[in-house]
Structure 1
Amino acid sequence: MEEALVEELDDEEQLVRRHRKEKKELQAKIQGMKNAVPKNDKKRRKQLTEDVAKLEREMEQKHREELEQLKLTLKESKIDSVAVNISDLVLENQPPRISKAQKRREKKAALEKEREERIAEAEIENLSGARHVESEKLAQILAARELEIKQIPSDGHCMYGALEDQLREQNCALTVAALRKQTAEYMQSHSEDFLPFLTNPNTGNMYTPEEFGKYCDDIVNTAAWGGQLELRALSHILQTPIEILQADAPPIVVGEEYPKNPLILVYMRHAYGLGEHYNSVTRLVNSATENCS
């Protein structure tokens, strides 16, 4: 009984720890979203408030469902344990008991199956949803330029990861970590170009030097999302224009003053449950094949 209690506490503690980490990552993302929207843009500020509320609701619901599932699983495990103990009292030569490791594997498999079913259901619902519509529009925009999306992991580093991928095509080996470091250093050395666009979400006032320093530290040391300010800094660092393609608005180009072919990113507003995401692009396979023939 003591071992079962310890195992139960370990499972719940791990879930709570993961939930705490996901909430922290969400707050970092939300902060990045807020920083990217100018204070005087009331329309985008209103949309931002709605988007933030939606993200928080979705995460709260997800965490609640996972906690309920864990409690249900633990309850079923207790029932199974009691049943086994009773059978020990009345039966002889019963089959070998399932080991704790096997139970953990079965529980993990059941949770993974449930997760996959939820994903499948979400994909079916999404066929007529915003994500599908956005993907269709982007596919048409990219196809007209003989391009297609190249998926980048949604880990908080997606903007830097997309640029790393684009630079690799130009035989430039800058990593995500290097891009983050150079971005923070450039922004700190050109603070007058960036401070006017950063406001404290609680007071609405422009960042103090201390707050700006913390913002730059987060760029280097956390998975804080990158936005327009960071893209502007990177265009100067690389002395290269960066073009951002999107479904419902014209392309945005930062660093137009540089006479080079732009690095191309795809901005997706509805890519994942947590919202915005950046991907890279690559040449369409068919068109690349035709050009080689």
Structure 2
Amino acid sequence: MERPGEEDDEPAAEEGDALALLIRRQRKEKRDLQAKIQGMKNTVPKNDKKRRKQLTDSIAKLEADLEQNHEEELKKLKETVPEQSEEDSAAVSMARLELENTQLVPPPRISKAQKRREKKAALEKEREERIAEAEIENLTGARHLESQKLAHILSTRQLEIKQIPSDGHCMYRAIEDQLKEQQNSWTVATLRAQTAEYMRTHVDDFLPFLTNPNTGDLYSHDEFEKYCCDIANSAAWGGQLELRALSHILQTPIEVVQMDSPPIIVGEEYSRKPLILVYMKHAYGLGEHYNSVKPLSDITTDNES
């Protein structure tokens, strides 16, 4: 036998359960969105202003969409109860207010060390992306074409490029490498010092070819002396004048292979086997570069070993 009012109490209980379930689910959705937003922030470097602006706009839209969706869900739940009591209506209003004021669980505090690691990882990822883009561009760029042409030119002479570091000493390092093949132990420092000294003692052979880049005037003797000091004591790049001095110092021809012109040979008056350098105009972003060469057969030897 049913007690009076028992049937009426059951739907009210179900409505209360539905409201509680909805509130719990909406709270969880807010927490999930906060975690998603934190992950999105970690993927964009702070110094990328354009992407940070796009990220801010995306986050604002996600938050607004979720807020609107939650409002509509609460409204629909309210509409399913045509004749709400004042107590039920107040419960729905309180639930809405509670949801709006729900404090999302803050993300765990990140240590300074972790922030540094994440920043380093983001910068490394950005650097790798730039390298990948540059490599793709190089497949059809001037650098790639230059390397292909030089490889073909050298292969007809059974030679290939031997890479030399791009550190300002590349011409002297290439000469040093070539001299090693002739059992000569000259170092970069010695080559630089000897070049500077030779040019000082043969001023008339070199001074007329040096001009001030700002005025176009020939170097003064003071400017020439500084030029020679830079050769000996810095990583100043070397060029044709220095190659001419080195050919006289070593009493050896120096041949420079290049892409679009016949090889340049300085010191042709000497009968020794020439030193061979490769001049590359597009090898590095900084500009001109010299490499050495080695016999093409070294490829097979290296692979077999």
Q: Same fold (TM over 0.5)?
A: yes
Cα RMSD (Å) of the superposition? 2.4
**3-state SS of the aligned residue for 1:278?**
strand
Counterpart for residue 223 of structure 1: 235
2-structure distance, mates of 1:189, 1:134:
38
Counterpart for residue 239 of structure 1: 251
The one of 131, 142, 146 equivalent to 2:143 is 131
> Matched residues, percent identical?
74
Counterpart for residue 202 of structure 1: 214
What are structure 2's unaligned runs of at least 5 residues?
1-44, 53-102
1-structure distance, mates of 2:114, 2:233:
39
Counterpart for residue 160 of structure 1: 172
Equivalent residues in 2 for 1:7-46, closer than 5 Å:
none
Q: Number of paired residues?
A: 206
Counterpart for residue 86 of structure 2: none
Distance 1:70 1:206, change over 3 A: farther
2-structure distance, mates of 1:288, 1:188:
45
1-structure distance, mates of 2:123, 2:299:
42
**3-state SS of the aligned residue for 1:243?**
strand
Distance 1:109 1:172, change over 3 A: farther
Distance 1:254 1:72, change over 3 A: same
Q: Is the 8 A contact 1:267 1:277 kept in 2?
A: yes
The one of 228, 253, 264 equivalent to 2:265 is 253
Q: How far did residue 172 of structure 1 move?
A: 1.3
Q: How far did residue 220 of structure 1 move?
A: 1.6
What are structure 1's unaligned runs of at least 5 residues?
1-68, 77-89
Kindly name which structure, 1 or 2, has the bigger radius of gyration based on alpha carbons. Answer: 2
2-structure distance, mates of 1:113, 1:104:
14
Alignment deviations for residues 34-86 of structure 1 (CA, whole Å, 9 cap, x no partner):
xxxxxxxxxxxxxxxxxxxxxxxxxxxxxxxxxxx77449xx8xxxxxxxxxx
Task: Calculate the TM-score normalised by the size of structure 2.
Answer: 0.62
Deviation larger for 244-253 or 160-169: 160-169
Q: Is the 8 A contact 1:146 1:287 kept in 2?
A: no
Counterpart for residue 268 of structure 1: 280
Q: How far did residue 105 of structure 1 move?
A: 3.1
Distance 1:153 1:287, change over 3 A: closer
One-letter code aligned to 1:194? F
Counterpart for residue 82 of structure 1: none
**3-state SS of the aligned residue for 2:279?**
strand
Q: Is 1:112 paired with 2:124? A: yes
2-structure distance, mates of 1:106, 1:170:
51
**3-state SS of the aligned residue for 2:132?**
helix
One-letter code aligned to 2:287? G
Q: How far did residue 99 of structure 1 move?
A: 3.4
The one of 169, 176, 179 equivalent to 2:181 is 169
One-letter code aligned to 2:190? A
The one of 278, 284, 289 equivalent to 2:290 is 278
Alignment deviations for residues 191-214 of structure 1 (CA, whole Å, 9 cap, x no partner):
110000000112211100000011
1-structure distance, mates of 2:197, 2:112:
51
1-structure distance, mates of 2:268, 2:151:
25
**3-state SS of the aligned residue for 2:256?**
strand
2-structure distance, mates of 1:225, 1:108:
33
Q: How far did residue 288 of structure 1 move?
A: 6.9
Q: How far did residue 178 of structure 1 move?
A: 1.3
2-structure distance, mates of 1:174, 1:245:
22
Counterpart for residue 83 of structure 2: none
1-structure distance, mates of 2:104, 2:258:
67
Q: How far did residue 102 of structure 1 move?
A: 3.5
Q: How far did residue 253 of structure 1 move?
A: 0.4
Task: Calculate the TM-score normalised by the size of structure 1.
Answer: 0.65
Distance 1:256 1:72, change over 3 A: same
